[in-house]
Amino acid sequence: MKRRVAIVAGTLLVLAGLLGGLNWLFPLPPAPQYSPLVLAADGTVLHAFLNPTQKWRMKTELREITPALRQTIIEKEDRYFYYHPGVNPLAILKAAGRNLTGSGRTTGASTITMQVARLLEPKERTWPNKLLEMLRALQLEAHYSKAEILQLYLNLVPYGGNVEGVKSAALLYFQQPPDYLSLAQTVTLAIIPNRPRGVVLGRHNAAIRQERNRWLRRFDAQRLFPHQAIADALLEPLDVQRHAAPRLAPHLARRLVRQFPGQPSLRATLVRSKQAKAEDLTRNYVRRLQELGITNAAVLVVNNRSRAVEAYVGSADFRDAASKGQNDGVQAIRSPGSTLKPLLYAVALDKGLVTPKLLLPDVPTNFNGYQPENFDKRCNGEVPLDRALAYSLNIPAVRVLSELGVPTFTDKLRAAGFRRVARDAPHLGLSTILGGCGATLEELTNLYVTLARGGQYAPLQWQAPARPQAPTALFSDASAFLITDILAQLTRPDLPVGYEASLRLPKVAWKTGTSYGRRDAWSIGYNKEYTIGVWVGNFSGQGSPALTGSDVATPLLFDLFNALAYNSPNNWFQPPASLDFRLVCAETGLPPGETCPNQLIDYFLPGISTTRRCQHQKEVLLSADGQYAYCRACAPPAGYRRELYPNLQPEVLAFKEAQGIPYRRLPPHNPACQLVRGGRDRAPSITSPLANSEYVLTKGERQQLLLSCTTDNEVRQVYWYVNDRFLRAAAANERIFFRPPAGSVKISCADDHGRNTDVRVLVTEL
């Protein structure tokens, strides 16, 4: 007995050695190269690519091989598939007898495994090659299970042209995956591989239907399927044609395939219906804009709860080469315009610098040589922060950034995933808040997702199932709510009287942006469920007079919201417990002082928001006749009176003077006073020329430089000097011109209180 066991074991070892040697000498053929597929979140195919050999060979997964498909293929091709080791000896003997005697139909006795061997290594049909197929079949059976061999067969069977595999045929002809096919469709695909060139779906439908029904009756006779199922299948028409491969979300599909090469299928987070709707709306919308010189748009739709991207439109038409449709507008680095302002104000709220009703100067201002302008070229004097954000005013935003500090702001952008800002941060200045940096639609949309999530930042999710990372706090939930509350007050373009006119339309908070030169139009909106980002423009970088965020991008934003979130629950954001109310002075937005009769209610962050009291009026000592003002040093012991005067900032005073806006101005200071009062912070501020700037003048022409400044309320006269030589005296708000000498020029301005400011410029003559 032991001897027999030893003999058997030795025999098995020898066979194993022989098999190992054969595997080493004749390794298995390489695995098939499949067509990369990008799937929607529900598993349906969004986009398919040709495989490296330019064939449609989409991988049929084991779960897609239905019992009907398995039974049909095995019954038709190899009914003893589960019982032979890859080669059927009885079938070989029967086939050899028929072929030698010439009786019956000539056959090759190929099993499914042998067909797989031939499909993996196509060769001319000769007896030696048939023997090689048999050896390969035995080898395949030793390495793969029956289910895996059947899967290989279903992935390799030809269907004419460059279509291979059941899944490719099912999608291209029936527009359904294999596990969704009817019995009639399943049998149709089972009979084609025998004659993929002679019988072509879409061309020979009548002949294919006749052959299909013949096999159905045969299966009925064999009781392979229920009789009623066969009867229904026999009545099913066959009117098919070849369709184009799925082509949704081409930009994201290409992005994922490049990121994960070699994967036969990649499941994205996209929702098929929303992706299709977003593509249709974007394409049709851009068609209407083409006569305005606007040729493209990009859209991103994000589910706020999971941060999963549910629609991704990189361009209006991927196939439009003239408009560079293959460019991906979601990843393109563009100027963000004013879309970063909500982040700026949120951070400033957290720093205690501002509150919603705080009044900010909106007047021409020189920020160390940088003079921003509002989009409409107008100024409003002083505006509360909520209005400055809602109407996207530039000058107040630059002022807040100047107080906050550019490094603090760019650090927040870096933390929010802005890659170009992170790279360029050392070189960025105050213009960053007006679009003087690079950003992508992906980055900007996620910034607004962060607002919707109460200031919590995490990366967007592209692959399903979504696995959100642990968020990091970019700003507080209190600031997020205040910004959202401001952005939700804007009048919707589709509902001028407010969203309440239709309870089925979603409530939205949104912000627009327009880049310099009108090259990029942005509109990004959000509610509790979704955030949608829209970019409209030209990939060539060419601007258009009509290209503004509010006029061009916002209509598409609300088309998308109304289509994708129609009748969704309008659950709106609630103020967090960290917020509270307080009374503030209506003149400044600060906590009221002793002279603040007009007050209103404003939100604030307890323990964070400034508690500085309002000083919009200051007490002034006047002579009895009101002709002169006294300082504490020169006031007489008696004979003067006290009055309140507006305590305006110098640039606001200059704006009121320039616009002819009446205000109560201080009388001149006591001329007998010899005291030089105030520090450098109250000295005149030279607004022109700009410090450290170069001015190029043409020789022979009478070009001149403008001299202007802003001063304190009590200043009446200023004195201008050029290279320390007196030029002339002028009224405090007077604009004068002069011809400067070439080279480095020092410009000085002194006021009638002895305070002085200097700037230097370089003058070049050509």
Helices (H), 121-158: 127-143, 146-156
Q: Work out the angle between the directed axes of helices 227-235 and 183-191 (0-180°, nearest 10).
A: 70
Q: Tell which phi-psi region holds residue 382, choosing left (phi > 0), alpha (psi between -120 and 50) or beta.
A: beta
Per residue in 587-598, is it b (16+ CB within 10 Å) or e — as a string? bbbbbbeeebee
Residue 112, token pair as written in the block: 């499914």
Alpha-carbon distance of 564 to 41, in angstroms, equals 16
First-to-last C-alpha distance (Å) of the chain: 113
610, 602 Cβ separation under 8 angstroms:
no
Annotated catalytic residue, options 77, 211, 279, 651 = 77
61 tagged catalytic: no
565 φ/ψ angles, rounded to the nearest 5 degrees = -125, 25
Alpha-carbon distance of 301 to 249, in angstroms, equals 12
Residue closest to 519 by CA, chosen among 293, 340, 300, 325: 293
77 tagged catalytic: yes
Residue 560, token pair as written in the block: 């998308």
Annotated catalytic residue, options 323, 338, 515, 550 = 338
Residue closest to 253 by CA, chosen among 304, 196, 326: 326
CB atoms within 10 A of CB 152: 23
Helix (H) or strand (E) holding 536: strand 530-537
Return contacts of 696-701, CB within 8 angstroms, 24+ apart.
696/764, 696/765, 696/766, 697/739, 697/740, 697/742, 697/763, 697/764, 697/765, 697/766, 698/765, 698/766, 699/765, 699/766
Alpha-carbon distance of 225 to 190, in angstroms, equals 15
Q: What strand order describes the sheet that includes 265-267?
A: 45-48, 37-39, 265-267
Residue closest to 337 by CA, chosen among 557, 540, 490, 534: 534
396, 628 Cβ separation under 8 angstroms:
no
Alpha-carbon distance of 405 to 387, in angstroms, equals 22
Single-letter code of the amino acid located at 357: K
The string of DSSP letters for 426-470 reads GG--GGGGGT-S-B-HHHHHHHHHHHHTTTEE---B-BSSP-PPP
Residue closest to 159 by CA, chosen among 216, 114, 201: 201
CB atoms within 10 A of CB 225: 19
* 500 class by beta-carbon count within 10 Å (0-12 exposed, 13-18 middle, 19+ buried): exposed
Q: Which residues contact 146 (CB under 8 A, 6 or more apart)?
A: 81, 82
Catalytic residues: 77, 338
